Chain A
Amino acid sequence: MKPKRLLLAEDDTMLASLLKYRLEKDGYVVAVKHDGHQMKTAITEQLPDAIISDVMMPYFSGIELVDYLRNDLKTDIPIILISAASNEENVVSALKLGANDFIAKPVSPTELLIRVARELNRYY
């Protein structure tokens, strides 16, 4: 089976590296973007199977990203948001806009793997 391709938008380079490693270890192909602009271009160029994005990103927030995916591109690519626990309002509005799931910071890589797999209908 072709490996699933993921786009990860996270501007904390350390967290991004850790998550990339763990996702790749699990058989995904992962591209990391460090800001919203890069992310936007990458989506249309790479058409990933799923997107993982931090809510607070430079230039283009995770919420704007969900809006862009669902309302401009009109695509249902699964998107999982990473958000600080204190950011409940944002999470709710992101889910309303059509985000599939969210994961609270500090991110547990294992939890993220499970949530990603669930969105892609892979089961452990």
Chain B
Amino acid sequence: MNTRELLTHLSKLENGLDSFSFSELNTTEAKALKKSFESFKNGLETKVFGGDSVAALQADALTVTSINNSKEHTVIANVSHEIRTPLNGIVGFVDLLKETPLTQKQFELTNALSKASQNLMDIVNELLEFSKLAAGREKFAKVPFNLKNLVNEVGFLCRTLITNKDITLQVTMDEGIPHSLIGDPAKLSQILLNLMGNSVKFVEKGKIQLKVHFIKEENNEVFLDFDVVDTGIGIANDKLNDIFETYQQAEPDTQLKYGGSGLGLSIVKELIGKMKGQITVQSTLGRGTVFKVTLPFEKASTDDVQQTVTKQNKRVEGKGLEGTKVLVFEDNTLNQKLMENRLKNWGCETIITANGLYGLKLLENHHFDMVLMDLRMPGMNGFEITRRIRNNSNYMLQTIPIIAISADMSASDKDKCHEYGVSDFILKPYNSDELQNMMGFHLNQNRVGNTGTPNNWVAGPKMNPANLAPILEECLGQIELLDELIRLFKQNMLEFIGKVKMHLQNNNLQGIGFAAHKIKSSLKMMEASSLFEICETISETCKESKDTQALTVLYHRFLEEYPKVEKFIDLEIKKLK
């Protein structure tokens, strides 16, 4: 990653934010978001770029082909620290903004913002991941998994990365490779996706292959070769050794043309090393590149990996899905993209969310015809979400078709599907006809007089969300100071929201506990008792039960409650002035 990359993302974010200064978009959140970005940018300028303005650096970056290496390193070292807090604030704002009623245009803008800030966050996280790996703090799983499914899945996901390019993608596997292995499937996917993702970047027209070869079996260990072969631009011989180096990309303008943090291959190499494997690369400039990864895996007994469930075939004659409103629960961004494209092609109106509670809220307040559910979601898993949908008092939700999607489904999972009220399930990888048929079938089944009334929100007990009198007294009656404190208060709250969101994604309970502890004083000073209680429960949950699901619920309660508090404070201060 270098300054240019960062700048590109910054200006994307800025462009998105600029769109919000339209007068019609006069919501408090949008304004606050804009303000937060200003302070984010100023902070970056002074702390990271040592006072140079972003605009000046941007002009610089366009003319200078390679930026001084040591400067980049300083930037990178600083970035992860300096960027995260204000970025958390931005992510927090966007989350709040999403909770407000939006027009179609505003909705699109919010989504774009969400994406831009998420991209930036991804880069920062990649940096942190690398430092974690380098410091040996990354843990590796040792679980049974189905290799064939994994390889197919990777190929499948990789296909979704190919847009507007004439590339054929081929995945082959030697006969006789045991399908059931023990290792870390997530890390293996990460390695393969990273290498193949690179190929997609560097091939304009041609072919990408993933070939899995059996090498040998020794002491119950299976050695496999994963060859990623492409007909891309290739890498010059004298550059081959550099490409695994941190922050190095083969050519100085690689960044500009193809993006990327320059950390991808370093991460891959570190991962492979830690998995006791090795990686080699061969390449001819202009012809293509071959990455060869050799990795050992333990062989699993057949009991370890449950037999795949037989596929179901429910044919429906020519039933179109046009206009069907589908809510998809899916956390993997590639799968999200894939699903979005697929459903769009069938004429469905689709909303995709990775957040169980958010999805539940959508279901309660909007009409949907069908739910597609990834069973393995972080936080609240698909079974739990299904249970909550079925337990809703709304009759429509008790009967809405829910199709579960899963890569590995054990017999007990199958039972659980029935138990929790899943209407049907489909195994990944599946072909799109299968899904289309299944959706059509269930849609037909359910199209019998669904005329329930939408749910009404129950109002909470009447109590002031905050009280400014005590803090005004501490300010010795100085309204200006109070105004400043309120500004800081809002900033702290939004940073908190962003931080907790990130920590929830990373399952960092300690981080959540710390963040909650930190804002308690502010909440107490404002006598924001509802938020204070939520925070205290969050603190306790982090220390004691460590229940991430409960934390997600609390986080969303905070998200719901906070705007009320902010609105109240704004009204009160207006009165005081």
Contacts and interface: CB of A to CB of B under 8 A. Distances in A.
A11 B519 CA distance: 10
A56 B518 contact: yes
B475 A18 contact: yes
Interface in B450-488: 471, 474-476, 478, 481, 484-485, 488
Contacts of B488: 13-14, 17
A56 B475 contact: no
B485 A17 contact: yes
Nearest to A16: B488
B74 to A, nearest CB: 16
A105 B524 CA distance: 9
Interface string A1-39: 000000000011111011001100100000000000000
Given A12-B492, A13-B492, A107 B521 contact: yes
Interface in B14-35: none
Contacts of B525: 14-15, 18, 106
Contacts of A109: 474
Contacts of A108: 474
B481 A21 contact: yes
Interface string B145-187: 0000000000000000000000000000000000000000000
The 3 lowest CB-CB distance pairs between A and B, nearest first, are A14-B488, A106-B524, A13-B488
Interface of B: 471, 474-476, 478, 481, 484-485, 488-489, 491-492, 514, 517-522, 524-525
A106 B521 CA distance: 6
A105 B475 contact: no
Given A12-B519, A14-B525, A15-B522, A21 B475 contact: yes
B521 A13 contact: no
17 contacts: A12-B518, A12-B519, A12-B521, A13-B488, A13-B491, A14-B489, A14-B521, A15-B521, A15-B525, A17-B488, A18-B485, A18-B525, A21-B481, A22-B474, A84-B520, A105-B520, A105-B521
Contacts of A14: 485, 488-489, 492, 521-522, 525
Contacts of A11: 518
A123 B276 CA distance: 69
Given A11-B518, A106-B521, A107-B521, A18 B476 contact: no
Nearest to A109: B474
A56 B518 CA distance: 8
Contacts of B491: 13
A12 B523 CA distance: 11
A31 B416 CA distance: 60
Nearest to A20: B481
B179 to A, nearest CB: 48
Contact of B514 (A15, A56, A105): A56
A94 B114 CA distance: 44
Contacts of A17: 481, 484-485, 488
Contacts of B517: 56, 84
Contacts of B476: 22, 25
A13 B496 CA distance: 13
Nearest to B490: A14
A15 B412 CA distance: 53
A119 B122 CA distance: 48
Given A18-B485, A105-B520, A108-B474, 15 more contacts: A12-B518, A12-B521, A13-B488, A14-B521, A15-B522, A15-B525, A17-B484, A18-B481, A21-B475, A22-B474, A56-B517, A105-B524, A106-B524, A106-B525, A107-B521
